[in-house]
Structure 1
Amino acid sequence: MVRAAGKEPGGTQSIERALSLLDAFTEEHPERRVSELVQLTGLGQSTVSRLVGALEALGFLAHDPRSGLYRIGRRTISLSSLALNQSAVFRQSRQVAQNLAAELGLGTNVAERLDDRLFYLCHFEGRQAPRNFTMVGRGGPLHATGLGKALLSDSDPDEVIELVGKTLPGFTPKTLTRSADLLKALEEVRSRGYATEIEELAFGRACVAAPIRDQTSRVVAAISVSGPLSAIDLGRRQDELGTLVIEHADQISTALGYNSVSLGAARV
């Protein structure tokens, strides 16, 4: 349940209440009735009606008069675009990811880590991996995705366990549900430079991902290619795709200021 924050000094209570209403809209529930928002936030009917009216007037919510349902308004699109364009990873990876999707005909994604989940920054469809929705702005589990494993690849074991726990949620019979198995998979990622995921998050799909580093050599993002098993064909193409994602990850890393040669020399 989404609960509104209690009263705070400085006149922030109304802002927090309004944001709690926006937070009630999710991928699973993109449309809500006022009665649902009342139940989810614990706010009074009159308070919710007043705040919903203000958010609609400002363009942050849109209302369908026939169904009575509210949805997120278009004003949020301009804010999300502003946030994306301020991201150095997004700016440096967008064209690289788009080119890779066009070259392979597979889906291409770029993601960062947001706390204990990944957050999609870029998504481009390939002709062999179409989607009827965008992945941008969505989240995902770290342990059950190639992107997540790439993002965790430079974390020490204690940090990994602190983030994901010792027992991990399963999505398919192939999901890694023990932290020991995940740590072993991360060793393989570090050894070969890329991560794989085969039907660990969803049946019939696979991906290959590589970490992206910044000028400090820290992993700050990851790029992947993904698609149906028949299109990605890892049994035959895994090394080829692994090499490609590493090359494109390195291209983005270099644009972010990463220099493996100078960093290696500095350690000698």
Structure 2
Amino acid sequence: MAKRPYIPSADAPDGDPRAPIGGSRTLIEQAYAQLREDILDGRLAPDEKLRVEHLKDRYGVGAGTLREAITRLVSDALVVAEGQRGFRVAPMALEDLADLTRLRVQIEIEALRRSIRAGDAGWRARVQAAFDDISTIEQPLLPRDARRWELANRRLHEALISGIDSPWTFKVLHQLSQHSERYRRAAIGLAHSDRDVHAEHAQIVELALSGQEARAALALEAHIARTPDLLVQRLREGRPGERGAAWRGGRQDLG
């Protein structure tokens, strides 16, 4: 199996305290970044067994390095440890996405409302700059731009709530965003979707910057809920996506 090219660590989650500090750590970071990207993009499918002896050749690292990278992905909820039986890619399930979405809505909506009330000129500038940045990517939003868009999307959502001083709010929302990234990638890859993500962002930003707190909160809630709504719709239509995915059994897993 051919080795995959190194994915720069700049695409890894911002603020990761486990940054490279030496040669061995750099190899772990590289393997982690490559594995994470392959899981997020569906090249390593949900529930797929991660066989270290096979994957070490694919990623060009030793078994110990690969196991340490996989262990990090367990803490990211992208991999499941199976005791003595090794590791599997975490499943994707509608119930999981619904739970993530409910919690994110509760926290992010309140944070946005507080941010609009407290937002100053600096906040307005951050929101406008983040919106201008993402506008260059999502007109239209294409699957090949998923990685760049994910980073720009995170920065826009963080800018919108940056008017408040609450480090824990940012930490929790960052975790929720990471855990739901696979679902967002799946939604980007849906064929024949009439979703206009840029229009959704434009509406949220316009309402927020004009101080329309209640309407901005409603627009953000609808925006966050759109991804699970799309995936549920495709399940009912019997065609969840374009990546060879299949919905299995009564668990409503996406994989």
TM class by shorter chain equals 0.3 to 0.5
Bigger strand share: 1
Structure ranking higher on relative contact order (CA contacts 8 Å, 6+ apart): 2
Normalising to structure 1: TM-score of the pair? Answer: 0.32
Max radius of gyration: which structure?
1
